[in-house]
Amino acid sequence: MTAAAAHAPSWYAASASEFAAQPRLQGDEQADVVVLGAGLTGLSTAIELAERGYKVIVLEAQRVGWGASGRSGGQLIFGYGCDISKIAELLGKEDARRLFDWSLEGVDLIAERIAKYGIECDLRRGHAHAAIKPRQVEELKAWQDELSGQYGYQGLQFWNQERLQQNLATERYRALLFDPRSGHLHPLDYTLGLARAALALGVRIYEGSAVTAVDPGAEVRFRTAEGSVRAGFGVLGGNAWLDALVPELERKIMPVGTYICATEVLGEQRARGLIANDMAVADTNFVLDYFRLSRDHRMLFGGRVSYSKLPPPGLGARMRQRMVDVFPQLGDVRLGYVWGGYVDITMNRAPHWGRLQPNLYYAQGFSGHGIAATGLAGRVIAEAIAGQAERLDLFARIPHRDFPGGKLMRTPALVLAMLWFRMKDHLP
């Protein structure tokens, strides 16, 4: 039996609160609901169900929060991985408005759970989308008008270059769209906090317990190397790490590597000289940069993508250069940590949530918007299991296509497609 892998060597893992290792599943057990994955999706589902009185078992192949849930940029943003206009094309404007409002519920749900369960995870309010080129400035203005006029979201603030430089010490950006409702947090601490909450509610979490087979039926059965769990309902929350366990889900997503570096400690004065209001920032390129400050006054800077299981060569130097392109004043600063992880993207970047069988549910395809949307997914799936499926049924209506090329060729095909978007990022 292979032991659970350690967390990625990230600043998050180095700074996270202690969390006791959970046992492996050994033997056969029974539950009302069995959940694959002890990340944000699985734990959110487990909490929602346990609060309703269900007996829940969560099976995790590695450690709690080992995947994207504990490695991500930690940016808490409204919406989904695609623009809401894409969802309007797929479902119509009325249903797109409902999904948009629910995404705001996902943002607010974070603060609710932090307060309810006493989770310490450095939640900070304030997030900005940043424009680099003149056309992107106009796109930000149009987006603000769309969200305000069609979706009733009035809180966004457009900052021109002069205004943004009062809070962001860089010449790279021409404008920002600032959202005081969104923000950022320590994703691993938040995930571990959810796990503690789930345990306190009676959920059983088994680490080092990879699911090797899913048997459908009147009762679903999730099997591992050393045991199994039978339950009336099953939930698949493996996302980018689901691999070939459920081929019909795997074909709908592509794991894409993304990377983050953390500088050495800058000190509070120098750090706040870079981002005075402590907001998180993401630019609007297709292959984007995103960054924020840590609680111990480091710059956390993310970007780059890869489509293989290997990190790009010279990753640290490349990440550092991207950071210095935004903040030349960090040219003398060393990196303390560099790490990566995988996000699960869909072809249209819209969320892929639904059922495989009447009692077998899934949520995947968060496409880089997982901090808030995973919590919403957990609530929506729990509602459906409890008999209120209206919201899940609407998400399930979003059409999704398989990635072209099959198992062998879909990655090369995606790489070729991404070349166009990289080229577009460089257009004026």
pLDDT tens, residue by residue, 274-297: 999 999 999 998 788 999 999 999
Query: How would DSSP label each residue in 348-381?
Result: TS--EEEEEETTEEEEE--TT-HHHHHHHHHHHH
- Whole-angstrom Cα Rg for the chain: 21
Residue 413 or 311, more confident = 311
Dihedral sign for Cα atoms in the order 13, 372, 308, 417: negative
Mean pLDDT for the stretch of residues 180-194: 98
- Give me the amino acid identity at 140: L
Give the per-residue pLDDT at 240. 84
Task: Convert the pLDDT of each residue in 371-390 to its tens digit.
Answer: 999 999 999 999 999 999 99
pTM score, two decimals?
0.94
Side-chain-side CA neighbours of 303 within 13 Å: the count stands at 26
pLDDT at 12 over 60: yes
Mean pLDDT for the stretch of residues 239-253: 89
pLDDT-based confidence at residue 364 (cuts at 50, 70, 90): very high
pLDDT at 172 over 90: yes
Task: Convert the pLDDT of each residue in 317-340 to its tens digit.
Answer: 999 999 999 999 999 999 999 999
Percent of the chain with pLDDT over 90: 83
Q: Is 88 helix (H, G, I), strand (E, B) or coil?
A: helix
pLDDT-based confidence at residue 425 (cuts at 50, 70, 90): low
Give the per-residue pLDDT at 414. 53
